[in-house]
A and B are shown apart, each in its own frame.
Chain A
Amino acid sequence: MTHTTVITKRSLVPLLVPLGAGALVAVALGVYGKAHAPTGFSVSVAGFSGPLAMKAWLTTGAALLAIVQVLSARAMWRRTGTRSAWVAPLHRWSGRIAFLLTIPVAFHCLYALGAQYDSPRVLIHSLLGSFFYGVFTAKMLALPRRGLPGWSLPVLGGLVFTALIGLWLTSSFWFFTTLGIRL
Protein backbone atom coordinates (compact mmCIF):
# COMPACT_ATOMS: atom_id res chain seq x y z
CA MET A 1 0.00 0.00 0.00
CA THR A 2 1.54 3.28 -1.03
CA HIS A 3 0.24 6.80 -1.25
CA THR A 4 1.59 7.61 -4.66
CA THR A 5 -1.73 8.90 -5.94
CA VAL A 6 -1.58 11.96 -3.74
CA ILE A 7 -0.09 14.93 -5.55
CA THR A 8 1.99 17.25 -3.41
CA LYS A 9 4.61 19.83 -4.05
CA ARG A 10 7.10 17.95 -1.96
CA SER A 11 8.58 14.80 -3.32
CA LEU A 12 7.43 11.31 -2.60
CA VAL A 13 10.87 9.96 -3.36
CA PRO A 14 12.17 10.16 0.24
CA LEU A 15 9.21 7.99 1.29
CA LEU A 16 10.06 5.14 -1.06
CA VAL A 17 12.86 3.62 0.97
CA PRO A 18 10.95 3.71 4.31
CA LEU A 19 7.83 2.27 2.70
CA GLY A 20 9.82 -0.39 0.87
CA ALA A 21 11.66 -1.39 4.03
CA GLY A 22 8.40 -1.46 5.98
CA ALA A 23 6.78 -3.65 3.35
CA LEU A 24 9.71 -6.04 3.51
CA VAL A 25 9.45 -6.24 7.31
CA ALA A 26 5.71 -6.93 7.19
CA VAL A 27 6.04 -9.63 4.54
CA ALA A 28 9.05 -11.19 6.25
CA LEU A 29 7.20 -11.46 9.57
CA GLY A 30 4.15 -12.97 7.90
CA VAL A 31 6.23 -15.51 5.99
CA TYR A 32 8.21 -16.39 9.11
CA GLY A 33 5.02 -16.81 11.15
CA LYS A 34 3.63 -19.21 8.59
CA ALA A 35 6.79 -21.11 7.62
CA HIS A 36 8.33 -21.57 11.06
CA ALA A 37 7.02 -24.52 13.08
CA PRO A 38 5.60 -23.10 16.30
CA THR A 39 7.61 -24.13 19.33
CA GLY A 40 4.76 -23.59 21.78
CA PHE A 41 7.23 -21.98 24.11
CA SER A 42 9.53 -19.00 24.37
CA VAL A 43 11.56 -17.23 26.97
CA SER A 44 9.67 -14.19 28.08
CA VAL A 45 8.96 -11.62 30.76
CA ALA A 46 8.56 -13.30 34.13
CA GLY A 47 6.09 -12.39 36.83
CA PHE A 48 2.80 -13.19 35.16
CA SER A 49 0.69 -16.30 35.61
CA GLY A 50 1.32 -17.36 32.03
CA PRO A 51 2.40 -16.19 28.61
CA LEU A 52 -1.14 -15.17 27.68
CA ALA A 53 -1.48 -12.93 30.73
CA MET A 54 1.98 -11.49 30.11
CA LYS A 55 1.03 -10.60 26.55
CA ALA A 56 -2.33 -9.16 27.52
CA TRP A 57 -0.75 -6.77 30.02
CA LEU A 58 2.28 -5.70 27.99
CA THR A 59 0.00 -4.97 25.04
CA THR A 60 -2.27 -2.96 27.32
CA GLY A 61 0.75 -0.95 28.47
CA ALA A 62 1.72 -0.30 24.87
CA ALA A 63 -1.84 0.69 23.96
CA LEU A 64 -2.02 3.20 26.83
CA LEU A 65 1.30 4.69 25.72
CA ALA A 66 -0.08 4.80 22.18
CA ILE A 67 -2.82 7.11 23.43
CA VAL A 68 -0.09 9.31 24.91
CA GLN A 69 1.48 9.20 21.45
CA VAL A 70 -1.62 10.55 19.76
CA LEU A 71 -2.12 13.32 22.33
CA SER A 72 1.51 14.41 22.28
CA ALA A 73 1.60 14.28 18.48
CA ARG A 74 -1.45 16.51 18.40
CA ALA A 75 0.32 18.97 20.67
CA MET A 76 3.39 18.89 18.42
CA TRP A 77 1.44 19.48 15.24
CA ARG A 78 -0.79 22.23 16.53
CA ARG A 79 -0.39 25.29 14.31
CA THR A 80 -1.06 27.89 16.90
CA GLY A 81 0.17 28.43 20.42
CA THR A 82 3.48 27.66 21.93
CA ARG A 83 4.71 24.17 22.30
CA SER A 84 6.00 22.97 25.60
CA ALA A 85 9.57 21.77 25.54
CA TRP A 86 8.67 18.44 27.06
CA VAL A 87 6.17 17.40 24.41
CA ALA A 88 8.70 16.11 21.89
CA PRO A 89 10.71 14.04 24.42
CA LEU A 90 7.44 12.72 25.83
CA HIS A 91 6.35 11.64 22.36
CA ARG A 92 9.70 10.09 21.59
CA TRP A 93 10.12 8.17 24.81
CA SER A 94 6.53 7.00 25.19
CA GLY A 95 6.81 5.67 21.66
CA ARG A 96 10.07 3.92 22.33
CA ILE A 97 8.81 2.28 25.50
CA ALA A 98 5.56 1.24 23.80
CA PHE A 99 7.54 -0.34 20.96
CA LEU A 100 9.86 -2.18 23.33
CA LEU A 101 6.87 -3.45 25.34
CA THR A 102 5.48 -5.05 22.22
CA ILE A 103 8.67 -6.97 21.42
CA PRO A 104 8.33 -9.84 23.97
CA VAL A 105 4.66 -10.10 22.97
CA ALA A 106 5.34 -10.36 19.27
CA PHE A 107 8.24 -12.69 19.93
CA HIS A 108 6.00 -15.14 21.76
CA CYS A 109 3.32 -14.77 19.08
CA LEU A 110 5.63 -15.49 16.18
CA TYR A 111 8.13 -17.88 17.75
CA ALA A 112 5.85 -19.93 19.96
CA LEU A 113 2.53 -19.74 18.12
CA GLY A 114 3.08 -18.61 14.54
CA ALA A 115 0.64 -16.95 12.19
CA GLN A 116 -2.75 -18.66 12.18
CA TYR A 117 -5.79 -18.13 10.04
CA ASP A 118 -8.32 -20.44 11.74
CA SER A 119 -10.67 -17.94 13.32
CA PRO A 120 -11.46 -14.32 12.41
CA ARG A 121 -9.94 -12.93 15.60
CA VAL A 122 -6.68 -14.80 15.15
CA LEU A 123 -6.58 -14.08 11.41
CA ILE A 124 -7.03 -10.34 11.94
CA HIS A 125 -4.52 -10.38 14.77
CA SER A 126 -1.89 -12.21 12.66
CA LEU A 127 -2.27 -9.82 9.73
CA LEU A 128 -2.33 -6.70 11.91
CA GLY A 129 0.75 -7.86 13.79
CA SER A 130 2.80 -8.11 10.62
CA PHE A 131 1.39 -4.83 9.35
CA PHE A 132 2.16 -3.06 12.63
CA TYR A 133 5.89 -3.73 12.52
CA GLY A 134 6.01 -2.90 8.83
CA VAL A 135 4.38 0.48 9.23
CA PHE A 136 6.34 1.17 12.43
CA THR A 137 9.58 0.52 10.54
CA ALA A 138 8.42 2.86 7.77
CA LYS A 139 7.58 5.57 10.31
CA MET A 140 10.96 5.25 12.05
CA LEU A 141 12.88 5.39 8.78
CA ALA A 142 10.77 8.30 7.50
CA LEU A 143 11.26 10.41 10.63
CA PRO A 144 14.75 11.77 9.94
CA ARG A 145 14.14 12.35 6.23
CA ARG A 146 13.80 15.83 4.80
CA GLY A 147 11.34 16.90 2.16
CA LEU A 148 8.62 14.40 2.93
CA PRO A 149 5.04 15.25 1.98
CA GLY A 150 3.42 16.97 4.95
CA TRP A 151 0.96 14.17 5.53
CA SER A 152 3.60 11.44 5.75
CA LEU A 153 4.20 11.33 9.48
CA PRO A 154 0.58 11.82 10.57
CA VAL A 155 -0.58 9.09 8.21
CA LEU A 156 2.17 6.66 9.19
CA GLY A 157 1.70 7.45 12.88
CA GLY A 158 -2.04 7.08 12.55
CA LEU A 159 -1.63 3.69 10.91
CA VAL A 160 0.74 2.54 13.67
CA PHE A 161 -1.79 3.66 16.29
CA THR A 162 -4.73 2.02 14.49
CA ALA A 163 -2.84 -1.23 14.05
CA LEU A 164 -1.82 -1.32 17.71
CA ILE A 165 -5.35 -0.66 18.94
CA GLY A 166 -6.59 -3.38 16.58
CA LEU A 167 -4.00 -5.73 18.02
CA TRP A 168 -5.07 -4.84 21.55
CA LEU A 169 -8.74 -5.45 20.74
CA THR A 170 -8.01 -8.85 19.19
CA SER A 171 -5.79 -10.00 22.06
CA SER A 172 -5.83 -8.22 25.41
CA PHE A 173 -9.47 -7.15 25.21
CA TRP A 174 -10.41 -10.69 24.19
CA PHE A 175 -8.30 -12.12 27.03
CA PHE A 176 -9.78 -9.80 29.68
CA THR A 177 -13.36 -10.32 28.56
CA THR A 178 -12.92 -14.09 28.23
CA LEU A 179 -10.78 -15.03 31.20
CA GLY A 180 -11.20 -11.97 33.36
CA ILE A 181 -8.82 -9.25 34.40
CA ARG A 182 -6.02 -11.01 36.19
CA LEU A 183 -2.25 -10.86 36.24
Chain B
Amino acid sequence: MSRLGPVYTLAAGAVIVVALGAASVKAAPSFQQVGAGQDTTAAAPPAEPFPAPSQEPSDQPSQQPSGDPAAKPDATPKKADYAGVVQGNGGLVAIAVRDGKAIAYFCDGRIEAWLKGTAENGTVTLEGKDSLITAALGGGKAQGRLQVGKAKWRFTAPLVKKPSGLYRASAVVRGAKIVGGWIVLPNGQEVGRVQIGGSGEPAPRFVPGTAVDYYGITLRPEEPDDFIDELAR
Protein backbone atom coordinates (compact mmCIF):
# COMPACT_ATOMS: atom_id res chain seq x y z
CA MET B 1 0.00 0.00 0.00
CA SER B 2 1.23 3.43 -0.82
CA ARG B 3 2.10 5.20 2.39
CA LEU B 4 0.62 8.39 1.10
CA GLY B 5 -2.66 6.89 -0.11
CA PRO B 6 -4.66 7.73 2.99
CA VAL B 7 -3.28 11.25 3.00
CA TYR B 8 -4.40 11.67 -0.59
CA THR B 9 -7.85 10.52 0.47
CA LEU B 10 -8.02 13.16 3.18
CA ALA B 11 -6.62 15.76 0.80
CA ALA B 12 -9.26 14.92 -1.82
CA GLY B 13 -11.95 15.48 0.79
CA ALA B 14 -10.40 18.80 1.77
CA VAL B 15 -10.23 19.92 -1.86
CA ILE B 16 -13.94 19.17 -2.33
CA VAL B 17 -14.76 21.11 0.82
CA VAL B 18 -12.82 24.12 -0.44
CA ALA B 19 -14.48 23.88 -3.87
CA LEU B 20 -17.97 23.65 -2.37
CA GLY B 21 -17.17 26.53 -0.03
CA ALA B 22 -15.92 28.76 -2.82
CA ALA B 23 -18.90 27.92 -5.01
CA SER B 24 -21.36 28.53 -2.18
CA VAL B 25 -19.89 31.88 -1.29
CA LYS B 26 -20.04 32.97 -4.93
CA ALA B 27 -23.44 31.53 -5.73
CA ALA B 28 -26.27 33.94 -6.28
CA PRO B 29 -28.83 33.95 -3.49
CA SER B 30 -31.51 31.45 -4.26
CA PHE B 31 -33.93 34.29 -3.59
CA GLN B 32 -33.11 35.79 -6.95
CA GLN B 33 -33.68 32.45 -8.60
CA VAL B 34 -37.01 32.19 -6.87
CA GLY B 35 -37.92 35.69 -7.93
CA ALA B 36 -36.93 35.16 -11.54
CA GLY B 37 -39.46 34.37 -14.19
CA GLN B 38 -42.44 34.64 -11.93
CA ASP B 39 -44.33 37.40 -13.64
CA THR B 40 -46.73 34.74 -14.82
CA THR B 41 -48.71 35.19 -11.63
CA ALA B 42 -52.08 36.51 -12.59
CA ALA B 43 -53.73 39.70 -11.42
CA ALA B 44 -50.50 41.53 -10.88
CA PRO B 45 -49.45 44.61 -12.79
CA PRO B 46 -46.17 43.89 -14.56
CA ALA B 47 -43.40 45.07 -12.36
CA GLU B 48 -39.95 46.34 -13.02
CA PRO B 49 -37.33 43.68 -12.78
CA PHE B 50 -36.09 43.79 -9.29
CA PRO B 51 -33.11 46.10 -8.72
CA ALA B 52 -30.13 44.20 -7.48
CA PRO B 53 -30.57 44.81 -3.79
CA SER B 54 -27.20 43.59 -2.72
CA GLN B 55 -25.60 46.66 -4.19
CA GLU B 56 -27.12 48.88 -1.56
CA PRO B 57 -25.04 49.19 1.55
CA SER B 58 -26.84 47.58 4.42
CA ASP B 59 -25.98 50.34 6.82
CA GLN B 60 -27.40 53.05 4.65
CA PRO B 61 -27.93 56.00 6.98
CA SER B 62 -31.47 56.84 5.97
CA GLN B 63 -34.38 55.69 3.91
CA GLN B 64 -35.27 56.65 0.40
CA PRO B 65 -36.40 60.27 -0.02
CA SER B 66 -40.03 59.37 0.59
CA GLY B 67 -39.07 58.64 4.14
CA ASP B 68 -38.97 59.72 7.64
CA PRO B 69 -40.16 63.31 8.14
CA ALA B 70 -43.56 62.73 6.60
CA ALA B 71 -44.17 59.34 8.18
CA LYS B 72 -46.14 60.27 11.24
CA PRO B 73 -47.58 57.13 12.75
CA ASP B 74 -51.31 56.86 12.31
CA ALA B 75 -53.45 55.20 14.85
CA THR B 76 -52.52 51.54 15.02
CA PRO B 77 -54.57 49.66 12.46
CA LYS B 78 -56.87 46.92 13.71
CA LYS B 79 -56.11 44.76 10.73
CA ALA B 80 -53.33 45.28 8.24
CA ASP B 81 -50.96 43.27 6.09
CA TYR B 82 -47.62 44.59 4.96
CA ALA B 83 -45.10 42.99 2.63
CA GLY B 84 -41.98 44.35 1.05
CA VAL B 85 -38.34 44.02 0.27
CA VAL B 86 -35.53 44.09 2.79
CA GLN B 87 -32.98 46.64 1.67
CA GLY B 88 -29.46 45.38 1.34
CA ASN B 89 -30.59 41.78 1.59
CA GLY B 90 -33.10 41.31 -1.21
CA GLY B 91 -35.25 39.00 0.87
CA LEU B 92 -38.86 39.73 1.68
CA VAL B 93 -40.53 40.60 4.94
CA ALA B 94 -44.21 40.45 5.74
CA ILE B 95 -46.03 41.77 8.82
CA ALA B 96 -49.61 41.00 9.76
CA VAL B 97 -51.41 43.03 12.43
CA ARG B 98 -54.66 41.83 14.02
CA ASP B 99 -56.19 43.60 17.05
CA GLY B 100 -52.95 44.57 18.71
CA LYS B 101 -51.18 41.31 17.90
CA ALA B 102 -48.53 41.20 15.25
CA ILE B 103 -46.63 38.47 13.48
CA ALA B 104 -43.92 38.72 10.89
CA TYR B 105 -41.93 36.50 8.62
CA PHE B 106 -38.63 37.19 6.97
CA CYS B 107 -37.19 34.99 4.25
CA ASP B 108 -34.55 35.44 1.59
CA GLY B 109 -34.65 31.86 0.36
CA ARG B 110 -31.72 30.88 2.54
CA ILE B 111 -32.48 32.13 6.00
CA GLU B 112 -35.86 32.74 7.52
CA ALA B 113 -37.36 33.95 10.77
CA TRP B 114 -40.82 33.87 12.29
CA LEU B 115 -41.49 36.70 14.72
CA LYS B 116 -44.33 37.63 17.01
CA GLY B 117 -45.12 40.72 19.01
CA THR B 118 -47.49 43.57 19.54
CA ALA B 119 -48.85 46.52 17.60
CA GLU B 120 -49.52 49.66 19.60
CA ASN B 121 -49.02 53.41 19.29
CA GLY B 122 -48.47 53.06 15.58
CA THR B 123 -45.49 50.76 15.94
CA VAL B 124 -44.86 47.05 15.91
CA THR B 125 -42.21 45.30 17.94
CA LEU B 126 -41.64 41.65 17.12
CA GLU B 127 -39.24 39.03 18.36
CA GLY B 128 -38.26 35.64 17.08
CA LYS B 129 -35.41 33.24 17.50
CA ASP B 130 -32.28 35.41 17.06
CA SER B 131 -34.39 38.00 15.28
CA LEU B 132 -35.99 41.34 15.99
CA ILE B 133 -38.22 43.74 14.06
CA THR B 134 -39.27 47.25 14.96
CA ALA B 135 -41.32 49.26 12.51
CA ALA B 136 -43.51 52.32 12.34
CA LEU B 137 -46.93 51.82 10.80
CA GLY B 138 -48.39 54.65 8.81
CA GLY B 139 -48.68 56.28 5.43
CA GLY B 140 -49.78 52.96 3.96
CA LYS B 141 -46.62 51.17 4.93
CA ALA B 142 -44.56 49.62 7.66
CA GLN B 143 -41.11 51.08 7.82
CA GLY B 144 -38.43 49.87 10.14
CA ARG B 145 -35.52 47.68 10.98
CA LEU B 146 -34.92 43.98 10.93
CA GLN B 147 -32.20 42.14 12.75
CA VAL B 148 -31.44 38.48 12.13
CA GLY B 149 -28.47 37.12 14.04
CA LYS B 150 -25.85 39.81 13.73
CA ALA B 151 -27.16 41.20 10.45
CA LYS B 152 -29.26 44.35 10.42
CA TRP B 153 -31.32 45.70 7.55
CA ARG B 154 -33.96 48.35 6.89
CA PHE B 155 -37.16 47.74 5.07
CA THR B 156 -40.24 49.47 3.77
CA ALA B 157 -43.24 47.20 3.40
CA PRO B 158 -46.36 48.69 1.79
CA LEU B 159 -49.87 47.57 2.68
CA VAL B 160 -50.88 44.60 0.57
CA LYS B 161 -54.15 42.84 -0.12
CA LYS B 162 -55.00 39.23 -0.86
CA PRO B 163 -53.64 37.26 -2.62
CA SER B 164 -50.41 39.05 -1.71
CA GLY B 165 -48.99 38.85 1.77
CA LEU B 166 -47.95 36.22 4.24
CA TYR B 167 -48.78 32.52 4.19
CA ARG B 168 -47.90 29.73 6.58
CA ALA B 169 -48.53 26.02 6.44
CA SER B 170 -47.83 23.65 9.28
CA ALA B 171 -48.21 19.91 9.50
CA VAL B 172 -46.99 17.06 11.64
CA VAL B 173 -45.97 14.03 9.63
CA ARG B 174 -44.96 10.90 11.54
CA GLY B 175 -43.68 12.94 14.45
CA ALA B 176 -41.85 15.54 12.40
CA LYS B 177 -43.12 19.11 12.50
CA ILE B 178 -43.13 20.79 9.12
CA VAL B 179 -43.57 24.56 8.82
CA GLY B 180 -43.65 26.34 5.50
CA GLY B 181 -43.61 30.10 5.08
CA TRP B 182 -44.24 32.15 1.95
CA ILE B 183 -44.37 35.85 1.14
CA VAL B 184 -46.09 36.93 -2.04
CA LEU B 185 -45.76 40.48 -3.39
CA PRO B 186 -48.28 42.20 -5.67
CA ASN B 187 -45.77 42.06 -8.55
CA GLY B 188 -45.74 38.29 -8.31
CA GLN B 189 -42.43 38.05 -6.56
CA GLU B 190 -42.38 35.26 -4.03
CA VAL B 191 -40.06 33.61 -1.59
CA GLY B 192 -40.51 30.78 0.87
CA ARG B 193 -38.87 28.07 2.90
CA VAL B 194 -39.93 24.85 4.53
CA GLN B 195 -38.38 23.77 7.81
CA ILE B 196 -38.50 20.23 9.06
CA GLY B 197 -36.77 18.61 12.00
CA GLY B 198 -34.10 21.26 12.52
CA SER B 199 -33.37 21.43 8.84
CA GLY B 200 -34.82 23.48 6.07
CA GLU B 201 -34.82 24.11 2.37
CA PRO B 202 -36.35 26.44 -0.19
CA ALA B 203 -40.10 25.93 -0.41
CA PRO B 204 -41.80 24.64 -3.51
CA ARG B 205 -43.55 27.30 -5.56
CA PHE B 206 -46.86 28.36 -4.09
CA VAL B 207 -49.77 29.79 -6.00
CA PRO B 208 -52.19 31.49 -3.59
CA GLY B 209 -55.38 29.51 -3.28
CA THR B 210 -53.75 26.16 -4.02
CA ALA B 211 -51.98 23.51 -2.00
CA VAL B 212 -48.27 22.81 -2.10
CA ASP B 213 -46.72 19.39 -2.59
CA TYR B 214 -43.65 18.83 -0.43
CA TYR B 215 -42.16 15.37 -0.94
CA GLY B 216 -45.65 14.05 -1.49
CA ILE B 217 -47.02 15.73 1.61
CA THR B 218 -49.80 18.20 0.96
CA LEU B 219 -49.20 21.52 2.67
CA ARG B 220 -52.08 23.98 2.80
CA PRO B 221 -50.72 27.51 3.29
CA GLU B 222 -53.02 29.65 5.40
CA GLU B 223 -53.54 33.37 5.67
CA PRO B 224 -52.62 35.22 8.87
CA ASP B 225 -56.26 35.20 10.07
CA ASP B 226 -56.00 31.45 10.40
CA PHE B 227 -52.71 31.12 12.24
CA ILE B 228 -52.02 34.39 14.06
CA ASP B 229 -53.60 33.14 17.28
CA GLU B 230 -51.58 29.94 17.19
CA LEU B 231 -48.36 31.83 16.56
CA ALA B 232 -48.82 34.99 18.66
CA ARG B 233 -49.98 33.23 21.77
Contacts and interface: CB of A to CB of B under 8 A. Distances in A.
Q: How large is the interface on A (under 10, 10 to 19, 20 to 34, 35 or more residues)?
A: 35 or more
A144 B21 contact: no
B1 A99 contact: no
A182 B9 contact: no
Interface string A125-151: 000000000000101110110000000
The residue in B29, B110, B199, B201 that gathers the most chain A C-beta atoms within 10 A of its C-beta is: B199
A44 B20 contact: yes
Interface stretch (A59-67, A78-86, A110-118, A158-166): A110-118
Contact of B1 (A42, A104, A144): A144
Contacts, number: 109
B32 to A, nearest CB: 12
Given A42-B24, A100-B13, 10 more contacts: A41-B30, A44-B20, A92-B1, A103-B20, A104-B16, A107-B17, A121-B198, A140-B7, A141-B10, A174-B197
Interface of A: 37-44, 49-53, 88, 92, 95-96, 99-100, 103-104, 107, 111-113, 116, 118-119, 121-122, 137, 139-141, 143-144, 174, 177-180, 182
29 contacts: A40-B112, A40-B193, A43-B24, A49-B215, A51-B201, A53-B215, A92-B5, A95-B9, A99-B9, A100-B16, A103-B16, A107-B16, A107-B17, A111-B21, A112-B110, A113-B200, A119-B197, A119-B198, A121-B197, A122-B197, A137-B10, A140-B9, A144-B3, A144-B4, A144-B5, A144-B7, A178-B175, A178-B176, A179-B196
